[in-house]
Amino acid sequence: MQFAEFATRASEMEAEPADLATVALVRDLFCDAGDDLPVVVRFVHGRVFPAWDSTTLDVGPRLLRGAIARAAGQNVTAADVEDRLAEEGEIGAVAAGYDFGGQRGLAAFAGGDDDGLTVAEVDETLRELAAAAGSGSEDRKLNTLFGLFNRTTPEEARYLARLVLGEMRIGVGEGTVRDAIAEAFLAVEETGETTDSEADDEPNDETRDETDGETRDESEERAAADDDEDPLTRATDEQLRAVERALQVSNDHGMVAAVARDDGESGLADVRLEVGRPVQAMLAQAGTAADALDEWGEAAVERKFDGARVQVHVEPDDEGETAGVSLYSRNMDDVTAALPDVVEFVESRVDAPVILDGEVVAVDDDGAPRPFQEILRRFRRKHDVDRMRDAVRVELHAFDCLHADGEDLLDAPVTERHARLSDVLDDAGAVSDLLVSDDGDEIAAFEEAALEAGHEGIMLKNPASAYSPGNRGKNWLKRKPDVETVDLVVTGAEWGEGRRANHLGTFLLSVRDGGDYVEIGKVATGITDEELADLSTLLEPEIVSENGQTVELNPSVVFEVGYEEIQASPTYSSGYALRFPRFVAVREDKEVADADSLARIERLAESESR
Amino acid sequence: MFKAIVSASTLRDALDSVSVLVEECKIRLNEDDLSIRAVDPANVGMVDLTLDAASFESYEADGGVIGVNLSKLEDFVGMANADQLVELELDEETRKLNIRIDGLSSTLALIDPDSIRQEPDIPDLDLPAEIVLEGAQLDRGIKAADMVSDHVRLRVDDAEEAFHIQAQGDTDDVDFQLDAEDLIDLTSGTADSLFSLDYLKDMNKAIPKDAEVTVELGEEFPVKLHYRIAEGQGNVTYMLAPRIQSD
């Protein structure tokens, strides 16, 4: 497929406001993709690599602006591109605004024709880009991107720029991709009343069939007239679930689409977990023991470790001995290199092949848990791994087993998975204690003991439930002491992007320090579109200065902000940062002088670390 | 089979001329010469290098192709002083290149040549103007252009028989004029093309200041720059595609 064709389709999706019609457009694109299907499926939701693969292009906005500037022509600088970005609010529009192609290629003089970029070529080039490393790799990346942009039309440039940053902004999310795969390759044409020659026409949906007194001819005419944008959804729930399951298990949308097309539902059913290919972690909602017992009768209860979620993959060698250990974060990033002690522990205690879910927790010399921020000093670390290994001791606490000895256990109940975990992990201390109880008092005692031991709270799990990757469902509940809020002064903000380009989106928060203000974090979540518009109206008159997308504000407005923890952090001038900050409300009843002080933040942080 | 001994400075000049454009390349180990042809990822700049067997102290090869990471190879060769000899030998079994410099021996893992970007077809260009000048003169013109712009215009004025290296910035201009008597040689013809300094600066870096550089130029056509290395026993040709000149 030509990249120009892909870009045209993408722009149609972007222009289409209705979700069902978007699914139909994506479906049509998938049907037309041919051999390029896996790549097209990934591109359409802004990916070059499958979701499980933590390889990135490693191209930041600055590098991208440089490449665009170079392709844009004589004496256009990266700073010029940045200026346009501040105006347009979005890199795709900026790229589309330039006339690329002024730089000619040598092929044009060697008798070769430039037939335009293909989807496969863009994919191959971006993968080459991702592989570039070492000295001079920045330059080569810039040069490679320049070479791509140099061959694009404005429409292609728009979607290439967005693809490079991984954000297509065409209203196609994971759900759309899932639905479109099912619609394209599993949904069965309703051929009952149509003849063979019309088999390509969209069949009518049910509401139309219900139209009384309408003759067949009229109805067909309408169907034909609507053909282009007919947003029919014909895939059954079962088919959607088959796609969903295969996606959860593999996190490879391109592969799943190809399997759906080539081998249908039975092929999808054969998609299995693979050791070395991470799956999304199952997530929990907030809830109470009472909620759990009301819903399930009894609950499986575990301590909630205040650590970093980690998925442990253990591969066997040819003899079936434990060989390779890989560790992945909650977001499926490979964190193996940062945690050699965990790798060694797993190597000595776990029989391959196996996939475990757990938490890595920082502990003190007595084995008592240390605060979350300590584990962050280890996680994702690339340098000084050995030094930090001595400074911050960590332990693995496994609580789930997704795969053991060739058998996928996702559909097995919590209790069975926990039993398998105890079988494969030869260290009782590293396996979470599981209490299955229908007694509220017993659970309360367990919770009290967990909090006393320095844990964050407890997890409540439906004992009969399966493991649903990536799902924040009702089968896992986390019970924690109530969330705190603080009152903070808004001292800066950033203009949003895309649809939100005219609104302030991210707000810089500060605390009082004597007569001054020191920064403690940013908040962007918990704000509705409506509130966002109101906040912009409220704050725009307070703008002191602007620099690109960043604005400085007169300290005048106080936000109430919820958080889960205050942690020491070098990022902000206060020396502290909020973990999971969330906008609660504007404290119109408070003056900035009434906002919380640095002294109070220090006290809160201290009380937490006890 | 490949076994050769060559002076470090010759090898370095040769490798530098390629590494300014690409990170990895194929090296053809022909019977009579060693050659490299590579094009940058954007397919805008190209290099074509040959080192005759005569530029080596000794040279034996039977037509194989190897793939190398140039910066690694340059690092290894960089361990030698300019006047030292570098001994290269291909280990067919391990597919590694053994490099020996006096007592120092190192082994460079090779890259599968198939994984390296395809070698470009060389455009067959008949360019009307030919300018022969010193590397230092070209260097001066490029440095001047770089002060005001990111592109440079190379132009031959047929009437006044002069070569111009010109650049136009947003506010400032430069024009470096070289008349026939300033040049080593000039074959005058109508020629005027615009080139990206990003590329030309890199190429210029590899061109020795005392080299005699032949510039072949046309109207909105690629420029060819060639010069000899290894005391005349080696040749480097660069080709660079133009940028379309607006108005």
* CATH assignment at residue B179: 3.70.10.10
Contact A143/B243, CB-based, under 8 Å? Answer: no
From edge to edge, which strands make up the β-sheet containing B162-168? B173-179, B162-168, B151-157, B191-196
B125 and A136 within 8 Å at the Cβ level: the answer is no
DSSP state, A2? B
CB-based contact (8 Å) between B230 and chain A?
A: no
Q: What are phi and psi of A394, to 5 degrees?
A: -125, 155
Of B84, B115, B146, which marks where a domain is finished? B115
Q: Per mean pLDDT, which range of A497-511, B12-26, B82-96 is the poorest?
A: A497-511
Helix (H, G, I), strand (E, B) or coil at B49: strand
- Cβ–Cβ under 8 Å, residues A378 and A339: yes
A110, B122: Cβ pair inside 8 Å? yes
CATH architecture assignment, domain A46-165: Orthogonal Bundle (1.10)
Same domain? For B155 and B235 the reply is yes
B158 and B68 housed in the same domain: no
Q: How far apart are CA A255 and CA A268, in angstroms?
A: 10
A285-479: which CATH topology?
Answer: D-amino Acid Aminotransferase; Chain A, domain 1 (3.30.470)
Burial class (CB in 10 A: 0-12, 13-18, 19+), A545: exposed
Are residues B109 and B206 located together in one domain of the fold? Answer: no
Distance between A126 CA and the closest CA of chain B, angstroms: 11
* Architecture of the CATH domain A485-609: Beta Barrel (2.40)
**Tokens 């408070």 sit on residue:** A590
In angstroms, rounded to a whole number, what is the distance separating the alpha carbons of residues A251 and A260? 14
Residue indicated by tokens 């942690």: A567
Domain finish residue from B65, B92, B115: B115
Residues of A in contact with B243 (CB under 8 A): 73-74, 102-104
Residue B43 lies in a domain: no
Query: Nearest-CA distance from B185 to chain A in Å?
Result: 26
Number of domains chain B is built from = 2
Question: Does residue B191 fall inside a structural domain?
Answer: yes
Size of interface A-B (CB pairs under 8 A): 89
Residue B8 sits in which domain range?
2-38+51-115
CA distance A344 to A206: 59
Say what the pLDDT of residue A230 is: 53
Q: Is B239 on the interface with A (CB under 8 A)?
A: yes
Cβ <8 Å between A110 and B23: no
User: What is the predicted pLDDT for the residue at A354?
Assistant: 95
Q: Which residues pair with A513 in a beta bridge?
A: A516
pLDDT of residue A502: 80
- CB B18 within 8 Å of CB A82: no
Mean pLDDT within B40-45: 92
- Considering chain B, what is the average pLDDT of its residues? 94
B65 with B12, same domain: the answer is yes
Per-residue confidence (pLDDT) for residue A278, from 0 to 100: 94
Q: What does the pLDDT look like over B129-187, one tens digit per residue?
A: 999 999 999 999 999 999 999 999 999 998 999 999 999 998 999 999 999 999 999 99
The stretches in chain A having pLDDT less than 70 are 112-114, 189-233, 481-483, 499, 607-610
* Coil, strand or helix at A216: helix
Q: What tokens appear for B152 in the block?
A: 């440079």
B54 close contact with A: CB closer than 8 A: no
**Both tokens assigned to A168:** 């297509």
For residues B80 and B183, membership in a common domain is answered with: no
**Shared domain check, B110 and B133:** no
- DSSP per position, A369-405: B--HHHHHTTTT--SSHHHHHHHSEEEEEEEEEEEET
Give the residue numbers of the binding site of A.
302, 309, 330, 359, 399, 472, 478
> Are residues B27 and B73 located together in one domain of the fold?
yes
Positions of A annotated as catalytic residues are 304
Residues B101 and B195 in one domain: no
Listed by start position, the domains of chain A span 46-165, 174-269, 285-479, 485-609
pTM: 0.76
Closest CA of chain A from B58, distance in Å? 33
> pLDDT value at position A113?
67
Which distant-in-sequence residues (6+ apart) come within 8 Å of A95 by Cβ?
A68, A149, A152, A154, A157, A158, A160, A161
pLDDT the model gives residue A452:
85
Q: Does B151 touch chain A (CB under 8 A)?
A: yes
SS3 A105: coil
Final residue of a domain: which of B82, B115, B148? B115
Cβ contact, residue pair B40, A147, below 8 Å: yes
For residue A479, what pLDDT is reported? Answer: 82
| A177-201 pLDDT tens trace | 999 999 999 987 654 443 344 344 4
* ipTM (interface predicted TM): 0.89
Answer whether A111 touches B (CB < 8 Å).
yes
| Model pLDDT, residue A307 | 85
**Element (DSSP H or E) covering residue A15:** helix A3-15
Please tell me whether residues B222 and B134 are part of one structural domain. yes
Using only the alpha carbons of chain B, give its radius of gyration. 19
- Return the pLDDT at A607: 66
Cα(A496)–Cα(A394) distance, rounded to whole angstroms? 39
